Structure 1
Amino acid sequence: MRSTQRSESINSFLNRFLNAKLKLYEFMSQIDRALSRLRNNELKDDFDCNHESPVLMTHLMQLEKHASEVFTRNTFAMVCDKIKSEARLSISNCVHDTTWETYTFKKFGGDDTTWTVTYRCGEQKFECYCKLFDTAGIPCCHYFGVMKSRNMLQITETLILPRWTTNAKDDFTLEVSNNSTPTHIIQIARYFGAIHFYLVTFRVHW
């Protein structure tokens, strides 16, 4: 868990099952319950992604539709929030060059706060001063402002991180299958690694 947000999220989830008074065998039993709950939630999310199509509700329906096809449902919900937020932005300045464009956004009817996005046309790379994509891994509303300005109908591949996509699990399975280490060794290492993480996190001593 490298992200503080993800660490807080998993800690909040595990607090439903664990407390400092648990004996070791009770601790392991509760960990199994927590993992089972996570697996069930994951199976439900997979089913929803494969068998349900969300209702498109934003003003950028083509981009929203593409997002619904590539992102998992939870990530898609966060992306939709950013698409909706784009409707409150206006472009206050735009500078074009041969290889890049710079857009300056401000909130419509708001204060003088501005956000600057640099878009490199050839590489289709974005950079925004809000740094949301760098921290959370999803496109910010300012990126969607640039995509709308350029009449893009799909989210560029540079803004789609594999770990948030519906086929992330397939890519991970392929990576494991190509690994020279035997699968059962990998599973055992993960199991004891998870135990060590929980023991350290909740200060459980042998």
Structure 2
Amino acid sequence: MSTTQRSESINSFFDKYVNRKTSLKQFVEQYENALRDRAEKENVEDFNSYNSWYPPITRYAIEKQMKEVLTNSKFKEFREELTGKMYCGIGSIKSQSDYLEYEVIEDVMNNENLMKKQFTVWFKKGDSVDDCDIRCICRLFAFRGMLCRHVVTVGV
């Protein structure tokens, strides 16, 4: 996330608790309330994630792995990307120094017309997890911390 995005995210989080006329004392009290509310929401989401079951929609092992590590809401986002994979295909693969560059072609609806849109995915395989790197031109992972359908197309 960029610095601006982080700042906007924090501002929107506190908008429900403070305003321009909030005193310093009120701010501290509201800050504690905000953190408490956030922790409670996370606990409820964790509880719901551990006590609910979503049947698999594919046979890919990555779906099962993601269900075990993601909350329900993030898992739903991931499944949307996983099913979006059916509209994608690999156009070409190029090797560039340490990276493999994949051209992924996605069928996209624009008004009533089906169009082909090109995305580039870069993958660097390393000796350890820390040495690996994967990026997509759509930047979904960079902005939301979520694998996109283009990366899933390359990796599954």
Q: In structure 2, what residue type is equivalent to 1:34?
A: A
**Partner amino acid for 2:82?**
I
**Residue in 1 aligned with 2:77?**
78
Give yes or no for contact 1:103–1:118 (8 Å, CA) kept in 2.
yes
Deviations 1:113-154 (A, max 9, x none): 311223445656434333333443322211110123xxxxxx
In 2, are the aligned partners of 1:17 and 1:34 still within 8 Å (CA)?
A: yes
Corresponding residue of 1:24: 24
Against the structure 1 CA distance between its residues 2 and 127, is the aligned structure 2 distance closer, same or farther, given a 3 Å change threshold? closer
Structure 2 counterparts to residues 102-117 of structure 1, below 5 A: 102-108=101-107, 110-117=114-121
Q: 1:141 to 1:11 in 2, by over 3 A?
A: same
Shift of 1:15: 1.0
1:165 matched residue in structure 2: none
**Structure 2 residue ranges without an equivalent (≥5):** 109-113
Percent same amino acid among aligned pairs?
27
Q: Which residue is equivalent to 1:126?
A: 134
Kindly indicate whether the alpha-carbon contact (under 8 Å) linking 1:117 and 1:129 is maintained by their aligned counterparts in 2: yes
Query: How far apart, in 1, do the equivalents of 2:105 and 2:41 lie?
Result: 39
Query: Structure 2-normalised TM-score?
Result: 0.70
Cα deviation for residue 34 of structure 1 reads 1.4
Return the offset for 1:112.
Answer: 4.5
Distance 1:13 1:120 in 2: 36
Give distance in 2, aligned partners of 1:108 and 1:60.
22
How high is the TM-score relative to the length of structure 1? 0.56
- Structure 1 distance, partners of 2:89, 2:8, is 35
- How big is the alpha-carbon RMSD for the aligned residues of Structure 1 and Structure 2? 3.1
CA 8–73 in structure 1, closer or farther in 2 if over 3 Å, else same: farther
**How far apart, CA to CA, are the structure 2 residues paired with 1:121 and 1:35?**
39
Q: How many Å separate the matches in 2 of 1:133 and 1:121?
A: 17
4+ long deviations beyond 6 Å: none
Q: CA deviation at 1:11?
A: 1.8
Question: Across the two proteins, how many residue pairs are aligned to each other?
Answer: 146
**Given that residues 105 and 118 in structure 2 are in contact (C-alpha distance below 8 angstroms), is that contact kept between their aligned partners in structure 1?**
yes
Counterpart of 1:92?
Answer: 91
Structure 1: segments with no counterpart, 5+ residues: 149-206
